[in-house]
Structure formats: structure tokens, C-alpha cells
Amino acid sequence: MRVLTGLDVLERQEFSILKGKSIGVLCNQATINRHCTHILELLLTFHQKGALKIQAVFGPQHGLWGHTQDNMIEWEGYQDPHTQLNIFSLYGEHRKPTKDMLKEIDLMVIDLPDVGSRYYTFIWTMALMMEACLERKIDVVILDRPNPIGGKEFEGTVIEDNFRSFVGLFPLPQRHGMTLGEIANYLHQEYMPQLSCQIILTKEWSRHQYYPETGLPWAMPSPNMPSWETALVYPGMCLLEGTNLSEGRGTTRPFEIFGAPWINGREMCNNLNSIKLPGVIFRPIQFLPTFQKHQNELCEGGFIHPTNREKFLPSLTGIAVLMEVFKHYSHKFRWNDPPYEYEYHKLPIDILLGNSWLRRMIEKQTNLSEIQQKMELESSEFNTRRRNFLLY
């Protein structure tokens, strides 16, 4: 049997728990069922019949319909001309919904596709929505979805308290190995126990499954997440956003492609391959970004090919790339200055890593195995907590 998302399950129940309610819906363009029908299209049928009322719709970063292509581009809410629904932006003037946005809402439905990485802001939009609903005594229903890069593997640093930001509001490792519903369960149990929160689980999904095994259609959760393979490398390669290296934005394979105009791609990939990182090969390439960093400049760099997804360590791989570039191109390479994702003081790389010690280790060219041991200690300690919130 194919995997069913929480939305599929609720649809099979004819949305019975929503009937008679005035609801808000937090979703985006990838919030579809297994037949590629969007959640709002499904709910509008009942809205138009008077079985429920869609009071407001909320969208995360990149807009409700994914129209903001680049990173950190805000968008404004509006009234949808086709449905007359009020659409509110949670990536602009407000990231946490206001009292006025939530007026006359009895129940909030949250269904957002996550990609398995702490930096992905949708989980933090969910967290802020949960906080706002707790303050307003609004019930919350979370529709769960599979983690596209599996639910067994977890890896990376865990956020230190003074490095919390919109790319990490609560402690999680870089690759968290949890579903949206499990993160909601974690936030609910540890930080918001008074919230009325129900999680609609997926069916037939098991933790070892990656996205291809689910049989579900892939809809890009954001414009630069074109495939599930992008999500697989993202926990490491998103770190390049905190540097002057191109993370491949402006190409058709962002995060799998990386480099800069001043890099010798063949030499760099040979050096990275000589490290023998588990489950990955680097292939030298040239590319011409059409927007963002090094726009219209010929870049050299690498393409990341995971060869064994169970052994591949995306966070460690991203650190290895930074180590290699810093070692050979320190005269050109730099850490980007703030602001970044609404943080105006700390370096972007530090809030991505959740600390400052790892950046200093990269600068000192600390042995990669020592860095790996420290990362593994942090993630394994967090796993003691993580196990309490797993639902599958």
C-alpha cells in the first residue's frame, strides 16, 4: 500500500474533525494530497457548502504559492481574487501571526512540507503559529508528512541557546530525522504543554523510507528545492549561505552544485574525494548562476553525488567542503556578514551552525575527525530527548 499523508487520512475521514469550525490553514503550494490536489481546493468544497468556514490562510517563506524565487525575499498578504479568502504572510512584517490575523478562528490546521533540516524555516513558522494559538486558546491540528530524507539518521550540531534564530528557534540537530508532526510533538510536550494539539499521522510510512519509497508525488516545497535529492544534501550545503561561495542558486540543481569564480574545480574535487567521506563522490563542474551570488560569472566547483544514502553524512560533508575551501582559498573566501534571516548581529554561519566554536575549528583547520566526534556527541545526546517524541 502506498503511504498516505495526514492530509490523505483526513480527506478519507471527510474532514470530519473540521466540520462546524471556523478554521485557519497554514500551508503552501506543496501542500497536496497523493493525487496532487491542493489542501485549499479540498477544503473549499466544504467551505462553499457551509460545512466549515475558512476564516484565513497563512503562508510561510517563499509565499503561499512559492512565487518568491530567491532567499530572504519578503511577501505581503492579500485577499485572493478567486476565493475571496484572506491570505496572511508569515514571512515579512510578521513571522508570528497577530491577534487580528487569528480573530474568529476556532481551529488552526497546519500542513507544511519539511525537508528534514533544522535550517528550513517552515518548522519555525509552525512553532510560532503554535505559540500564537496557545496564547489565543485556539486548537491546533497538525497534518503529518514523511521526512523525505528518512527518519532514522540524525546528524550535526545542536543549537546553543544564545544562537537561536529563525533558522533554529529550538534545539535540533542539523539533520533531525523527525517528521513535522514529531517536531510539533516535541515542541508541544517540552515547551507548550497547555496547547490543545492533535497530530494526524501518516499511514504506511516507516522510518527507513526515503521519499522515492513513499509513492507520493514530489511538489517543490520551495523554489530552490527541486527534488528530494536536493533535500538529502541540504543539511550540509545550506551552510554555504553563510559564505561567499555559491550554493548553486541560479542553477537548476541548487545545493548539489557549489563553487565560485576563483576555485579550481578539478583540484578541489580531487582533494575532497581523497578524504573518502562516506557515501559521496564530488565531480568537478563549471556553472553560470543566473541570479544571486556570482550572477553571470563563470564559476568552477563541484557537483555532489551521494552514492550510498544510508552512509552519506550531509552535515559532515558540508563542513568538509568549507574546510577545503578555507584551506586553499583563504585569500578569497569569506564568511558573510549579517543580516541573515532576521538576525542582525551574529554571523550567518554561526546561527546556521548554532554555535561559534565550529567556525573557529574550521579556521584553525582542526582535524575533521575531531570535529565529527564533537558533532556526534551533541547529536547523540539530543537523541536521548528525541526518542521521547517519535511517533513511528
Q: Which domains does the chain have, with CATH numbers?
A: 6-219 (3.40.50.12170), 228-381 (3.90.1150.140)
Inform me whether the pLDDT recorded for 65 exceeds 80: yes
Instruction: For the chain, give the number of residues.
Output: 392
CA atoms in the 13 A half-sphere facing the CB of 390: 19
Inform me whether the pLDDT recorded for 69 exceeds 90: no
Report pLDDT for 67: 86
Give Cα 178 to chain centroid, integer Å. Answer: 11
50-61: average pLDDT: 97
What percent of the chain is modeled with pLDDT above 70? 100
Q: Please tell me what DSSP assigns to residue 186.
A: H
Phi, psi for 172 (deg, rounded to 5): -155, 150
Report pLDDT for 82: 86
Report pLDDT for 307: 98
Inform me whether the pLDDT recorded for 12 exceeds 90: yes
What percent of the chain is modeled with pLDDT above 90? 96
Q: Distance between CA atoms of 270 and 265, rounded to whole angstroms?
A: 8
Grid cell of 163 as nine digits:
544562537
Inform me whether the pLDDT recorded for 93 exceeds 70: yes
Inform me whether the pLDDT recorded for 349 exceeds 70: yes
* Conformational region of residue 66, where left means phi above 0, alpha means psi within -120 to 50, and beta covers everything else: left
Report pLDDT for 35: 97
Give Cα 145 to chain centroid, integer Å. Answer: 13
Q: Distance between CA atoms of 137 and 159, rounded to whole angstroms?
A: 29
Is the CB of residue 92 less than 8 Å from the CB of residue 361? no
Average pLDDT score over the chain: 97
The predicted-structure confidence for 157-216, as pLDDT tens digits, reads as follows 999 999 999 999 999 999 999 999 999 999 999 999 999 999 999 999 999 999 999 999
Helix (H, G, I), strand (E, B) or coil at 348: helix
1 confidence band (pLDDT: 50, 70, 90): low
How far CA 3 is from CA of 105, 142, 306, in Å, comes to 31, 17, 25
317-322: average pLDDT: 98
- The dihedral over CA atoms of 10, 14, 20, 22, expressed in degrees to the nearest 10, equals 50
How far CA 239 is from CA of 247, 269, 305, 350, in Å, comes to 9, 18, 18, 9
Note the pTM of the prediction, 2 decimals: 0.97
From edge to edge, which strands make up the β-sheet containing 280-287? 257-260, 299-306, 280-287
**Of 217, 95, 60, 212, whose CA–CA distance to 150 is shortest?**
212
Q: Please tell me what DSSP assigns to residue 189.
A: H
From edge to edge, which strands make up the β-sheet containing 197-200? 78-79, 86-89, 53-59, 22-26, 107-110, 139-143, 197-200
Report pLDDT for 120: 97
Report pLDDT for 227: 97
Inform me whether the pLDDT recorded for 318 exceeds 90: yes
Report pLDDT for 70: 78
Grid cell of 332 as nine digits:
578569497
Phi, psi for 9 (deg, rounded to 5): -65, -45
89: exposed, middle or buried (C-beta count within 10 Å: 0-12, 13-18, 19+)?
A: buried
Grid cell of 270 as nine digits:
580531487
Q: Distance between CA atoms of 267 and 77, rounded to whole angstroms?
A: 48
Phi, psi for 348 (deg, rounded to 5): -55, -40
